[in-house]
Amino acid sequence: MSTNAEQPVEKRSFRRFKDGEHAWKDLRQKIFSADHSHKCPTYIQSSPPCQASCPSGEDIRGYLNIARGIEKPPAGMPWQEYAWRRLTQANPFPSVMGRVCPAPCESGCNRNALEDHVGINSVEHFLGEYANAQGLKFVKPDNSTGRKVAVIGGGPAGLSAAYQLALKGHAVTIFDEHEHLGGMMRYGIPGFRTPREVLDQEIARILELGVQARLKCRVGTDVTLEDLRRDFDAVFLGMGAQAGRALPVQDGAAPNVVTATAFLRAFNDGRLRHVGKRVVVVGGGDTSIDVATVARRLGHLENSSPTDLEGAIAGRMAHDVADISARQGADVVLTSVFAIDKMQANRHEIEQALAEGIAIRGGLVPIGIVKGADGRATALRVAQCEAKMAGGKLEIKVVEGTEEDIPADLIVSAIGQSVDFTGLEQFDNGRGGVSAERSYQVQGQPGVFAGGDVLRPHLLTTAIGHGAIAADGIDRFLAGEEIGKRPKIDVHVFDLMRKYAERGLPLTRIDEPTHGTDRSTGAIHNYDNRSDRYVIPHKELFLGHFGYATRNKRRFVTLTREEALGNFQERIEPLDEAQAVAEAKRCMSCGQCFECDNCVVYCPQTAVKRVPKKEATTGRYVYTDYDRCIGCHVCADVCPTGYIQMGLGE
C-alpha cells in the first residue's frame, strides 16, 4: 500500500521575495541594461519528480491533468477512460498497482515541500477500478510486423514486455511454468491485497491483444532455449526470482524452516490452510509483512500434525482439515536487523501488522536454529545487532552476550529471493542474476533481452518498467536499428507535438535561434522539451501560488488481533469520483503550464498573452510578444510550475 503513516502537516507560506528585497541573489540573473534585458522568457517542459521516481515511467502529470479537466478528452470519450489510456501507455496494471505499489512517486512529489504529497496511487487505483467496471479494452494495432518474440516468464516483467510488443504489432508467446499467469503478483502477494478477479481481468486485456500463453511449460526443461532461438526472432528473459533465500546460519535446514516464496506460493495455491501456533518471520521488507499477516489470518489447529503444514508448503498434499476443525490464532513474531522505523516495508503495512497483534522486533539478527530430537526447529536463536548500509552492502555488527531463543513451530525466511537457472545456466552471471546492457539486451547475446528480478530483485513496478524498456529495445532490434542508450528519464511523457497533430495545427519545429518566431503560426517559439533529462525541483516552483488542501485519503480497514483470524477480505477502498478529481487538482503540474493566467495578469508590459483559441492546445497556452518584453523576470517569478524560465536571447 502507498498511504504513509499519519503525521501532522504543517501549513506553510511561500513567497518569492520578502518585503524590502530588491536585489537579485544570483548576479547571473542581473543582465539588465536600461529598459531592456538580454534575457527573455523561454518555455521549458521538464519532467516532474513523480514521473522521474516512477520505475514504470507513468505519465503521472498527464493523467492527473486529464482528471482535473485541464487536458480535454476526445469527443465522446469519458475523461476517466482518457486518463486510463494515458496511464496504461506505460503500465497495464493500474488496478493491481494502485493497491500494492509502495508509490515512490509520492515520496518524490514536490508537494511534500508544501504540505503533503498528492495521492497519486489512489487516483491510479480509481482509474483502474473504472476501467474494470466499464470493461475497457486495449486497442489492437492495425498491422502485424510478422516478427515473433518469445517471453520467458508470465510475471509483471514478462507481461509488460508482451503488452508493449503486442502494441507494436509483434506476435508474442509467453512461456510460464505455472498454471496461471501473474508471477509474483499472483504467487507472491496474498489475495486480500491483490484480489484475483482484478488481476485476472488486467491480464486478460493483454491476452486479448493476441498474446499467446503456454502454461505449465518450463523453458530449459520442457522446451530448450535452442528451440526458442529457432522458432522466434527475439527472446525476453522475465522468469523472475521466485526461489527464496535460506537463512544464512550454520545448520539452518529443518522441515519447518521454509522460505517466504514457498510459504506464499502454498497459501496462494490453496494448499496451506493453517500454520503452527508460534510463527517467526525473518525479514523486514514488504514480503515479510505479507507472510506475517497471512499467518495471523490462517491461525493454527490444536489437534493437527506439524507435518501437515510442512507437507502443504512442500506441495505434497492439499490440506483441508481446517475446514472441519476449530481454528485459533497464531502468535506471530517478525524480526528485522533494522530498527522498526528503518525497516524497508511500507510504513502503513507495518502499522496494520502491529494493529493485528503481530510482534515486530527490530535490531535482531538470526544466528542459529535450535532443533529438537526429531530434527525439527523449536526456536530461532537471535542476537541484538547494529545494521547499516555501506557502499551498497549490508553491514551487521552483533552485540555479544545478547543471544536469546524465540520459540517457533514454523520459521519463515523472508530475506530475499534468487533466480532458478535450471536449464538456462548460460545466463547466470555468477551473482545469481543476468547481466544486461542499459537497453536490457543480455551482454554477448544479440536478440536476447531481460528484465525484472533476473536483473535486480526490486518492486513490481520496477519489473513493469523493465519490460517496457526491453520491448523498445526488441522493437529496434527487429527493425534492424541501432538500439542506442535510454534517456535518463523514461519516455512516457506529455508530447506537445502529438497535441499539435491532434488539433491539426501546422508545425515546423525551429531549434536554431530565429528572429520573429513569436509571430510565426508554424513554429513553437522558445520552447524546449527537456523531460528526458531534467527533473524540476520544488525550488524552481512558485509555491506561494498553492493554497493548503488536505489530501483525499482512501479508507483502510484496520483489523484487531481477533478480527484478523480468518479474515481474507480486501482492506482498502478506492476513492469515489469526486475525491479522485479533488486529489488530482492538488497536483502542481510541475514543469508544464496548467493555465493559471499568472504570467498574463502580472506582466507589466502586457507582453505575455494567451495563444488564440484556434491555435492553442494543452501545454501551449501562452506566448510572448518580444517587441513588448523587457526581460523583467516577473512572468518567471509568478509561474507556479516552473514552466517559464529566463533564457538568453537577442
**How confident is the model over 589-620, as pLDDT tens digits?**
999 999 999 999 999 999 999 988 888 888 88
Using the predicted structure, report yes or no on whether residue 235 has a pLDDT greater than 80.
yes
Q: Which residues contact 27 (CB under 8 A, 6 or more apart)?
A: none
359-391 burial, b if ≥16 CB within 10 A, otherwise e? ebebbbbbbbbebeeeebbbbbebbbbebeeee
What is Dmax (Cα atoms) for the chain?
Answer: 93
Which of left, alpha, beta for 321 (phi over 0: left; psi -120 to 50: alpha)? alpha
- Coil vs helix vs strand at 200: helix
Residue 412, H or E segment: strand 410-413
Element housing 41 (H / E): strand 39-45
Cell 515512490 -> residue: 104
DSSP 48-113: -HHHHH-TT---HHHHHHHHTTSSPPPTT--HHHHHHHHHTTT-S-HHHHHHH---HHHHH-GGGG
CA distance 433 to 465: 18
Task: Give the range with max mean pLDDT: 127-141, 438-452, 483-497.
Answer: 127-141
Q: Three-state DSSP class for 624?
A: strand
What cell was used for 326? 476449530
Average pLDDT over every residue of 143-168: 97
The H-assigned helical ranges of 558-610 are 561-564, 577-584, 598-602
C-alpha cell at 425: 545456466
Higher pLDDT: 213 or 456? It is 213
Burial call 484-496: b when 16+ CB within 10 Å, e when fewer? eebeebbbbbbbb
Query: Whole-structure pTM over 0.75, yes or no?
Result: yes
**Is the pLDDT score of 323 beyond 50?**
no
* CA–CA separation, 599 and 601 (whole Å): 6
Task: Kindly provide the residue ranges of all beta strands, DSSP E only, lying in 126-256, ordered along the sequence.
Answer: 148-152, 171-175, 212-214, 234-237, 243-244
The domains of the chain, with CATH numbers, are 27-46+495-530+592-650 (3.30.70.20), 148-241+419-478 (3.50.50.60), 246-414 (3.50.50.60)
Alpha helices in 554-612 (DSSP H): 561-564, 577-584, 598-602
Mean pLDDT, range 234-241, rounded to an integer: 94
Sequence-ordered alpha helix ranges (H) in 256-407: 260-268, 286-298, 306-314, 347-355
Mean pLDDT of 205-228: 95
Of the chain, the end-to-end C-alpha distance in Å amounts to 52
Q: What is the pLDDT of residues 337-358, one digit of tens each?
A: 999 999 989 888 999 999 999 9
Cα 477–Cα 479–Cα 480 angle in degrees, nearest 5? 65
Where does 344-390 show beta strands of DSSP type E?
359-362, 364-371, 377-390
Cβ-contact 592, 643 below 8 angstroms: yes
> Facing residues of 162 across strands?
none
Q: Read off the pLDDT of each residue in 534-542 and give the average, rounded to a whole number.
A: 94
CA dist 546 and 387 (Å) reads 41
Q: Is the pLDDT of residue 470 over 60?
A: yes
Band of the pLDDT at 627, cuts 50, 70, 90? Answer: confident
Q: What does the block give as the cell for 383?
A: 542476537
CA angle 140, 145, 148 (to 5 degrees): 95
The mean pLDDT of 48-62, rounded to a whole number, is 94
Coil, helix or strand at residue 493: coil
pLDDT in the model for residue 392 = 76
Dihedral (CA of 8, 358, 570, 158) sign: positive
Give the pLDDT of residue 494.
84
Beta bridge pairs of residue 236: 151, 449
CA-based torsion, 458, 464, 467, 469: positive or negative: negative
Nearest CA among 454, 446, 418, 470 for reference residue 164: 470
Confidence label for 504 from pLDDT (cuts 50, 70 and 90)? confident
**pLDDT computed for residue 100 by the predictor:** 94
Distances (CA, A) of 625 to 82, 528, 607, 611: 34, 18, 5, 11
Whole-number pLDDT of residue 73? 94
Helices (H), 257-305: 260-268, 286-298
pLDDT range class, residue 150, cuts 50, 70, 90: very high
Q: What percent of the chain has pLDDT over 90?
A: 67
Question: Can you give the pLDDT at residue 508?
Answer: 54
Stretch 71-99: mean pLDDT? 96
**What is the arithmetic mean of pLDDT over 261-287?**
91
**Distance (Å, whole) CA 527 – CA 44:** 6
Cell of residue 166, nine digits:
503486442
Task: Confirm if 561 and 329 have CB atoms less than 8 A apart.
Answer: yes
Share the mean pLDDT of the chain: 88
**Cα→Cα distances 145→70, 77, 141, 479, Å:** 36, 29, 10, 9
Three-state DSSP class for 415? coil
Sign of CA dihedral 158, 161, 167, 168: negative
pLDDT of 88-105, one tens digit each? Answer: 999 999 999 999 999 999
Pick from 382-386, 481-485, 511-515, 516-520 the range whose average pLDDT is largest.
382-386
Going by the DSSP 8-state scheme, the letter that residue 213 receives in this structure is E
Residue of 582, 591, 581 whose CA lies nearest to 531:
591
pLDDT (0 to 100) of residue 488: 74
Residue with cell 502503513: 348
Torsion of Cα atoms, 321 then 327 then 328 then 330, to 10°? 50
Amino acid residing at 458: H
Which residue type is seen at 62?
A: G
The DSSP secondary-structure symbol of 245 reads P
